């Protein structure tokens, strides 16, 4: 009898332990689940605490419920409104990643990081216009390789995913911002070389660096999609097809600003996403969609807060339905000023620390997402696929 009681107790302990482990695993997976929508913090013009602007805005994004963070890393770090002073010992992207505030946000409990990563060797442009171009290429490769190696080693086992990329690539081709001019063919070739060199540096670092449960990818951001569809030379038509890029970010103002109705937004944005995807070279190592929206948005000089919230829901629903990996609104705190010094109003939290309706939409979306996940797991005893989540998300009250 005693042996039977022992066996029953032992089996109960095993079952309870198994259940507890499974429950803890589900809770971790829920916290790390990609809720797709989010925002970024770059160049914010105000703050409300004694923390650096970078840390404060990162915390604000996390408190909203997002586990996605997009920031900028590069030689202009001290001029990005992050409250990070210039430091002589910061001479590379790896040095900057170790800086106190940057290091703090990289160690926060974000799962997904998008980083504008610009080598200290050069200004934010295409391949360095250096007299010794071979030296410039080697130094640029070495710096991206070094940052990738650091991220893989430092965050191994954390489950974090880092995407290293650039700001709107078409302005690297047109540094005078004149979209009517033809692009110098040499500039196109330099940009192709620059993008492929960065991709090779990341691929080589991943191959040569032991790591576990951490990932680094490379993305090219494009923006002038209207020129692309018109068959003109631009990053989408002239650079993207000649790369080995992991992912593509779409700064989507040319597709998301003109539409005046939800139906028009759905039609135009879908067409632009389809066109860009058609130019992405295949990459068998990565499954699923490799195109996401790195920027979309409107400022309060153009639309009311209610209109911005409504238009954002149009974009989110279309992009979710299409299958975008991320959909990032520009941005948490405003970064642009009018000529009189006033804020233009690209924000989810305004200069008076007031949350906009679109902030509330994000907050409610995350809340509904977690509740839906909880119910799904209880019923299915597994995590949903991205398609299952997307289908459900399109019905959330937050997007109505």
| pLDDT recorded at residue 27 | 81
Backbone angles phi, psi at 179, to 5 degrees: -75, -5
pLDDT at 336 over 80: yes
| pLDDT recorded at residue 165 | 98
Is the sign of the CA dihedral 326, 43, 67, 95 positive or negative? positive
Say how far apart CA 98 and CA 85 lie, in whole Å: 14
Q: pLDDT band for position 121 (50/70/90)?
A: confident
| For range 163-179, the mean pLDDT | 94
| pLDDT, tens digit, 9 for 90 and up, residues 244-302 | 999 999 999 999 999 999 999 999 999 999 999 999 999 999 999 999 999 999 999 99
pLDDT at 137 over 90: no
| pLDDT recorded at residue 124 | 41
Q: pLDDT band for position 175 (50/70/90)?
A: confident
| pLDDT, tens digit, 9 for 90 and up, residues 198-249 | 999 999 999 999 999 999 999 999 999 999 999 999 999 999 999 999 999 9
pLDDT at 123 over 70: no
What is the average pLDDT value for the chain, to the nearest integer? 91
Backbone angles phi, psi at 132, to 5 degrees: -100, 85
pLDDT above 70 coverage of the chain, percent: 90
Say how far apart CA 105 and CA 379 lie, in whole Å: 35
Maximum separation of any 2 CA atoms in the chain, in Å? 90
299-331 b/e (C-beta count within 10 Å ≥ 16 → b):
bbeeeebeebbebbbbbbbbbbebbbbbbbbbb
Please state which of the ranges 132-136, 174-178, 269-273, 373-377 shows the lowest mean pLDDT. Answer: 132-136
| pLDDT, tens digit, 9 for 90 and up, residues 61-91 | 999 999 999 999 999 999 888 999 999 999 9
Residues 41, 114: contact at Cβ < 8 Å? no
pTM, to two decimals: 0.92
| For range 294-321, the mean pLDDT | 97
pLDDT at 135 over 60: no
227-241 b/e (C-beta count within 10 Å ≥ 16 → b):
bbbeebbbbbbbbbe
Sheet holding 327-329, edge to edge: 37-39, 327-329, 291-296, 247-251, 215-222, 161-165, 112-117, 68-73
Side-chain half-sphere exposure of 216, counting CA atoms within 13 A: 30
For 340, other C-beta atoms within 10 Å of its C-beta total 5
| pLDDT, tens digit, 9 for 90 and up, residues 18-31 | 444 455 576 888 88
Q: pLDDT band for position 130 (50/70/90)?
A: very low
Of the two residues 129 and 191, the one the predictor is more confident about is: 191
């Amino acid at each position: 009898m005693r042996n039977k009681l022992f066996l029953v107790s032992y089996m109960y302990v095993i079952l309870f332990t198994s259940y507890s482990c499974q429950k803890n695993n589900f809770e971790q997976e829920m916290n790390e689940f990609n809720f797709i929508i989010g925002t970024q913090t770059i160049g914010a013009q105000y703050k409300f605490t004694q923390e650096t602007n970078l840390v404060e805005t990162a915390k604000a994004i996390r408190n909203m419920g997002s586990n996605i963070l997009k920031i900028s890393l590069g030689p202009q770090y001290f001029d990005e409104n992050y409250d990070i002073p210039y430091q002589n010992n910061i001479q590379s992207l790896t040095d900057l990643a170790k800086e106190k505030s940057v290091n703090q946000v990289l160690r926060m409990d974000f799962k997904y990081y998008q980083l504008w990563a610009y080598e200290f060797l050069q200004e934010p442009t295409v391949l360095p216009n250096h007299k010794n171009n071979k030296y410039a290429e080697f130094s640029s490769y070495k710096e991206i390789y070094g940052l990738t190696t650091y991220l893989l080693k430092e965050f191994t086992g954390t489950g974090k995913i880092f995407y290293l990329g650039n700001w709107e690539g078409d302005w690297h081709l047109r540094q005078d911002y004149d979209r009517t001019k033809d692009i110098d063919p040499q500039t196109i070739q330099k940009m192709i070389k620059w993008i492929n060199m960065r991709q090779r540096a990341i691929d080589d670092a991943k191959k040569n660096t032991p790591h576990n449960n951490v990932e680094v990818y490379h993305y090219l951001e494009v923006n002038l999609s209207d020129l692309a569809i018109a068959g003109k030379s631009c990053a989408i038509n002239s650079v993207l097809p000649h790369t080995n890029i992991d992912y593509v970010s779409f700064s989507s103002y040319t597709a998301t600003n003109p539409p005046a109705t939800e139906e028009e937004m759905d039609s135009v944005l879908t067409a632009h996403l389809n066109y860009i995807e058609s130019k992405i070279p295949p990459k068998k190592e990565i499954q699923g969609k490799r195109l996401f929206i790195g920027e979309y948005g409107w400022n309060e000089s153009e639309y009311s807060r209610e209109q911005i919230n409504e238009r954002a829901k149009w974009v989110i629903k279309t992009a979710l339905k299409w299958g975008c990996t991320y959909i990032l609104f520009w941005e948490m705190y405003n970064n642009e000023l009018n000529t009189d010094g006033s804020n233009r109003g690209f924000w989810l939290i305004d200069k008076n620390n007031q949350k906009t309706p679109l902030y509330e939409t994000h907050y409610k979306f995350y809340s509904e997402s977690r509740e839906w996940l909880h119910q799904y797991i209880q019923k299915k005893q597994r995590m949903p696929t991205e398609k299952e989540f997307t289908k459900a998300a399109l019905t959330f009250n937050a997007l109505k």
